Structure 1
Amino acid sequence: MNTTSARISAPISVAVAVLAVWWAVTAAGLISPQFLPAPGQLAERFWLDVTQGPMLSHAWVTLSAALLGSLLAILVAVPLGYLIARLPWVDVAITPYVAASQAVPAIALAPLLVLWIGYGLAPTVVLCAIMSFFPMIVTTVLGVRQLPQDVIEAGRIDGANWYQLLWWVEGPLALPSVLAGIRAGVTLSITGAVVGEFTMGGRGLGMLLTLNRDANDIPGIFSTLLMLVVLAVALYILMRLFQNAVTWNDDEPKTRRRARVLADEPLPA
């Protein structure tokens, strides 16, 4: 089995196994439908929510907050990660605070964001950015620090300045690592959006979960959770496809081949 087939068949097999166990447990009456709806019941409710209910409009609000927060995190985390990897004094000054930021739960920051920014989309976007920030900066630092120094030195010998090295060598070579962190961060941003909507208001899936909880609508809760899963998986797959787009068919990164050529030829002025 080739790699592509395995990447498709493995998650499908796991999903089929989980659904089979789920169906068997509910069909045997081991768990009451009041606590866990059957797969068929959930599929029917999800279809009704998507086609006739407000699910899609709420999902769009949550997705918008997650994407905006991810973009904000990228604009901060990637440049800062590069500086940490390249400048020792930035590493010493900033890294302890980056690590300490992970000790504060996102839900604990929400009341502060409300006080500083107010209710609505803006504080939710900031919370999404905070949730996405850490994996992006970590993978950026690792990607830059693991760059082949011989290729970078060859660029310097060819007369490249710092901008040319960054654009033609360091950036392309570090791109796979950076994209891996972005992929993880974008997925986490969905969680940040829901947490923000729980605590700071909004009209996304977090609000829909709250309404279903207050109404004791268990199928509605599971239907909303299923939509969150769909959004997270879709974002993950899209980022994965984008990352694959910068690789050659033989799985060797296109950017590494470009850097190898640049190591032998003068960089463009």
Structure 2
Amino acid sequence: MSARIVAPLVLGLLVLTGWHLLAASQTIASTFLPSPSDVWKRLTHDLVHGSLLASTAVTLGEAAMGCLIATVIALPLGYLIAGSHLAQAAFFPYLAASQAVPAVALAPLLVIWVGYGIVPIALLCALIVFFPLVLATVLGVRGIDPDVVEAAELDGASGWAMLWSIEAPLARPVLLTGIRNGFTLSVTGAVVGEFVMGGKGLGLLVSVESASADTTGLFATLIVLCTLAVAVHQGLVLVEHLTDPYRLPRSRSRTGALPQQVDTLPLSIPAASRGNATQPEELVA
């Protein structure tokens, strides 16, 4: 087993052991801190006999819809900003200002404009995810090696050919990382939206359990929520790996023939490769 697998397992066992010992000592009342065994019993019961699975499906659907809406709009806009001084000057001040407004504060407006149901919650998720996806797109496009772009231009590539054959594949790791992280934010947005706008997802369960001081139920629901976010994130990592056009067979992956794809957004990006676009440091500033 690799350290990447063993380390989190050991840490998890230590946390569970400490939790069990603290609950067994009765230093804290079970009303405030239920034991791991009680939480496990409640979790399995709600999964089999309760509405936990149905609520999880609702929250997942809202998060997926919101992330899809944000992706469809954010990727083209980020691409436009990455290649144009004028687009950056026009759009970025408003994008930056939008981050000063808590997304939850927009929930009442969404209810007035759209009404209750899945749609306003999905729109709230999209608003939360939108800016990180735009920024990831800008960083991904501006991180492309200018020499590669120049070589493609000398070879006659331009327009859609440049986008699909050069820019999209090279920016792909950063874009997919942004989408993965954005989906996690979208799950959070779905739960917050259900707090404010109602719904039938995990947010509703958390509200009901909180109102009735059902600590054991809260722990069970929060475990499902965390598991959902991790499962979606790792699922997208697997999809990215399986669809990677540059993926090497396992027998060759240890030779270092090709560098591994980045797994996080870069802290600094080289100069822009398209036109006379500015550095991403100027964009973030």
Q: Does 1:230 align with 2:227?
A: yes
| Residue of structure 1 equivalent to 2:143 | 146
Question: Cα offset for 1:30?
Answer: 2.3
Deviations 1:35-67 (A, max 9, x none): 111111111100000011111111111110001
Distance 1:34 1:26 in 2: 10
Question: Cα offset for 1:13?
Answer: 2.3
Question: Cα offset for 1:160?
Answer: 1.1
Distance 1:235 1:253 in 2: 25
Moved over 4 A (4+): 253-256
Aligned partner of residue 71 in structure 1, secondary structure: helix
Which of 157, 162, 165 pairs up with 2:154?
Answer: 157
Q: 1:147 touches 1:174 (CA, 8 Å); kept in 2?
A: yes
| Residue of structure 2 equivalent to 1:216 | 213
Question: Cα offset for 1:7?
Answer: 2.8
Deviations 1:12-37 (A, max 9, x none): 22222221221121122222110111
Question: Cα offset for 1:104?
Answer: 1.1
| Residue of structure 2 equivalent to 1:242 | 239
Question: Cα offset for 1:6?
Answer: 3.0
Distance 2:204 2:88 in 1: 40
Question: Cα offset for 1:11?
Answer: 2.2
| Residue of structure 1 equivalent to 2:265 | none
Distance 2:261 2:40 in 1: 43
Aligned partner of residue 161 in structure 1, secondary structure: coil
Q: Which runs of 5+ in 1 are unaligned?
A: 257-269
Aligned AA for 1:140?
T
Q: 1:173 touches 1:255 (CA, 8 Å); kept in 2?
A: no
Question: Cα offset for 1:229?
Answer: 0.7
Deviations 1:180-211 (A, max 9, x none): 11010001111100111111111111111111
| Residue of structure 1 equivalent to 2:276 | none
Structure 1 residues 86, 103: closer, same or farther in 2, change over 3 A? Answer: same
| Residue of structure 2 equivalent to 1:95 | 92
| Residue of structure 1 equivalent to 2:22 | 25
Deviations 1:74-115 (A, max 9, x none): 101111111111111111111121122111112111111111
| Residue of structure 1 equivalent to 2:42 | 45
Distance 2:231 2:96 in 1: 29
Q: Which runs of 5+ in 2 are unaligned?
A: 263-285
Distance 1:135 1:24 in 2: 41
Aligned AA for 2:41?
E
Q: Does 1:200 align with 2:197?
A: yes
Aligned AA for 2:69?
L
| Residue of structure 2 equivalent to 1:264 | none
Q: 1:248 touches 1:254 (CA, 8 Å); kept in 2?
A: no
| Residue of structure 1 equivalent to 2:67 | 70
Aligned partner of residue 200 in structure 2, secondary structure: coil
Which of 5, 8, 12 pairs up with 1:11?
Answer: 8
Structure 1 residues 14, 101: closer, same or farther in 2, change over 3 A? Answer: farther
Deviations 1:160-185 (A, max 9, x none): 12110100000000000000110100
Distance 2:131 2:4 in 1: 26
Aligned AA for 1:243?
E
Distance 1:215 1:149 in 2: 59
Q: TM-score, length-normalised on structure 1?
A: 0.89
Distance 1:57 1:124 in 2: 17
Aligned AA for 1:239?
L
Distance 2:126 2:259 in 1: 28
Question: Cα offset for 1:238?
Answer: 0.7
Aligned AA for 1:210?
S
Distance 1:253 1:239 in 2: 20
Q: 1:42 touches 1:222 (CA, 8 Å); kept in 2?
A: yes
Aligned AA for 1:198?
F
| Residue of structure 1 equivalent to 2:104 | 107
Which of 58, 61, 69 pairs up with 1:61?
Answer: 58
Which segment drifts farther, 173-182 or 83-92?
83-92
